Amino acid sequence: MKTTLPVIVAFLSGLIMVVGFFLNPEKSFLGNVEEEVLRWGTIVGGFTLLLGVVSLVRVNSRTVSQKKQGWIFNLITLISVFAMAIPSMIPLSSKSAIGSVLYSIIPASWGGLFGTGPDSIYDWMFNYLESPMMATMFAMLAFYIASAAYRAFRARNTEATLLLLTAVLVMLWRIPMGEAFLRLFGDNVPQYINSFVMNGVNMAVQRGIIIGAALGAASMSLRIMLGIERTYMGKG
Amino acid sequence: MSFWEKVSNIDRRWIYFLVAVSVVFPMLVVIKFPIGITPEAKQLYDAVEALPDSSIVFLTFDYYPSTLAETEPISIAALNQMFRKNMKIITMTTVPLGGPSIAERVTRKLANKYNKVYGIDFVNLGYKANYVAVLKGMGSSIESIYPADNAGTPLKDLPLMSKVRNYNDVKFIFVVADNGIVDYWISIVNAQYGTPVGAGVTAVMAPKMYSFVEAKQLTGLLGGMKGAAEYERLVNHEGTATRGMDAQSMVHLLIIFFVIVGNIGYFATRKSGRSGQV
């Protein structure tokens, strides 16, 4: 039963989604069921976020309480989670039960600091702490890419040489200075790169990858629906 | 140690230093080169321009703060074009980490510029988990997925949303994304409901999208900061992407220079088998 029931649920859920795809939800029962399942999906999705937060708090608090190596970073993670979450969950006004208690203690004018709206604590921390930090992390990639290009991008064989030449052409094409340089060899050179590299070779390869991945996803879905693939139940 | 061996084994901090100089220098000294427009960017611009004024459109903020430099200028340029045409804009996001806040900040800034009123000219639906279910569900009823907007106001209290039930009432979907969600906007919304979808994506994502443009599943494409700069030029609004093109140009040229020097060093030192370590 432990194995059979999840397989039946997976089969029926998959079947509803596949058949529902071809049906109008307003005119057919199965299409309507599909819509309902999708609504459940958004609700379940909300709970998965909560599960993620609970898991993050559990894992990090364990490391902090045991004072394992680098525990200070786990502590910073925990402080950050609550610093972002708590102000955003505090009621904005005294309309709710919690709000009436809270605003009998603090001035009502502080309401604007809470929630996730403009000028709230959450919004300030997001715009002035989180956004710059994430952008900085991503921007660091430019340094590593430059270093890797210098040390690893070698014309070792014919394939690598072709890749290297194409990369150089596309990099030139994607910048105004490079475009101006390419136009020295003919006004249509940038257009040729767009037509023959991006809409030619690149597109052919990308289509192969997209079709291959779609076929893989379809076969994996079929394996799950038929109960052949059971790793999601913790079985091999 | 020969010259080329020294060059091949150069301290990587010199490389980092040159990259930093290449980014900072163009910010101090403006070197403007004309920005060429690709057919894909023009196609997207023309598709939005061809819509009747006051059309209801979707603008998605499906990106994380890490890619703001590439994606936010696209959103700003698109909002300039849409607000100028008095379009009614519905914004939303499938990204929980900051998506609603970015949408709120960017849209309100542009709305103030064009004197647009929240609830009448634009609405921010915010974020809902499980994007496949969200995209599919909105095909039947947006209100069933988003009973309230980002601030918690019921959709029935927003005049704009009384005119919109599902994708049939939306003339165009402009997706700005830094992740695989574009595939779902194409395969779920465009393929199943027929609503035209255009996209502005990060440079690394753009190569994959060309096949969708060719198949007419995607109405136009903007790739990375260059795509954003092209759109800024098309909507006649010079923003951060146009200004960033000089820095991007310098870094691209520097990387090409590194590739050339690295390869000369590789061939010069290959016989001795002592070329630089990765």
pLDDT digits (tens, 9 = 90+) for B208-253: 999 999 999 999 999 999 999 999 999 999 999 999 999 999 999 9
Confidence of residue B171 (pLDDT cuts 50, 70, 90): very high
What was the pLDDT predicted at A236?
Answer: 56
**Is there a contact between B90 and B170 (Cβ–Cβ < 8 Å)?**
yes
ipTM: 0.84
Question: Among B64, B66, B47, which residue's Cα sits nearest to residue B55?
Answer: B47
Question: Among A161, A163, A193, which residue's Cα sits nearest to residue B210?
Answer: A193
| Closest residue in chain B to residue A129, using alpha carbons only | B65
Question: Among B157, B148, B163, B186, which residue's Cα sits nearest to residue B62?
Answer: B186
The answer to whether A164 contacts B259, with C-beta atoms less than 8 Å apart, is yes
What was the pLDDT predicted at B1?
Answer: 72
Question: Among B231, B246, B219, B244, which residue's Cα sits nearest to residue B69?
Answer: B244
A134 chain-B contacts, CB cut-off 8 A:
64-66
What was the pLDDT predicted at B41?
Answer: 96
**Is there a contact between B2 and B222 (Cβ–Cβ < 8 Å)?**
no
How far does the CA of residue A136 sit from the closest CA of chain B (Å)? Answer: 7
**Is there a contact between B107 and B82 (Cβ–Cβ < 8 Å)?**
no
How far does the CA of residue B81 sit from the closest CA of chain A (Å)? Answer: 23
pLDDT digits (tens, 9 = 90+) for A123-138: 889 889 988 999 999 8
Q: Which of A151, A191, A210, A211 is the best substitution to test chain B (most B C-beta atoms within 10 A)?
A: A151
DSSP letters spanning B84-142: HTT-EEEEEES-TTTHHHHHHHHHHHHHHHTT--BTTTEEEEEE-S-HHHHHHHTTT-H
C-alpha to C-alpha distances, A209 to A203, A216, B215, nearest whole angstrom = 10, 10, 16
How far does the CA of residue A164 sit from the closest CA of chain B (Å)? Answer: 8
How far does the CA of residue B87 sit from the closest CA of chain A (Å)? Answer: 23
Q: How much of chain B exceeds pLDDT 90, in percent?
A: 74
What was the pLDDT predicted at A96?
Answer: 80
Among residues 24-53 of chain A, which lie with CB inside 8 Å of chain B?
25-26, 35, 38-39, 41-42, 44-46, 48-49
For residue B186, pLDDT over 80 is answered with: yes
| Closest residue in chain A to residue B226, using alpha carbons only | A174
Q: Taking the CA atoms of chain A, what radius of gyration do you get in angstroms? A: 27
B128 chain-A contacts, CB cut-off 8 A:
42, 45-46
Tokens 């000369």 sit at which residue?
B264
Q: Checking DSSP bridges between strand B88-93 and strand B56-62, what pairing results, if any?
A: parallel
Q: Which residues pair with B93 in a beta bridge?
A: B127
Question: Which residue type, as a one-letter code, is found at position A72?
Answer: I
Confidence of residue A49 (pLDDT cuts 50, 70, 90): confident
For residue B275, pLDDT over 60 is answered with: no
The answer to whether B66 contacts A42, with C-beta atoms less than 8 Å apart, is no
Confidence of residue B278 (pLDDT cuts 50, 70, 90): very low
Tell me the pLDDT of chain A averaged across its residues: 88
For residue B22, pLDDT over 60 is answered with: yes
What was the pLDDT predicted at B21?
Answer: 94
Q: Residue A79 corresponds to which tokens in the numbers above?
A: 């402080």
- Does residue A208 belong to the interface with chain B, where contact is any CB pair within 8 Å? no
Q: Is A78 exposed, middle or buried (0-12, 13-18, 19+ CB in 10 A)?
A: middle
pLDDT digits (tens, 9 = 90+) for A26-42: 777 877 888 788 888 88
Confidence of residue A22 (pLDDT cuts 50, 70, 90): confident
- Cα torsion A174, A176, A182, A184 to 10°: value is 170
Among residues 50-109 of chain A, which lie with CB inside 8 Å of chain B?
none
For residue B85, pLDDT over 80 is answered with: yes
pLDDT digits (tens, 9 = 90+) for A167-222: 999 999 999 999 999 999 988 999 999 899 999 999 999 999 999 999 999 999 99
Return d(Cα A188, Cα A197) in angstroms, integer.
Answer: 14
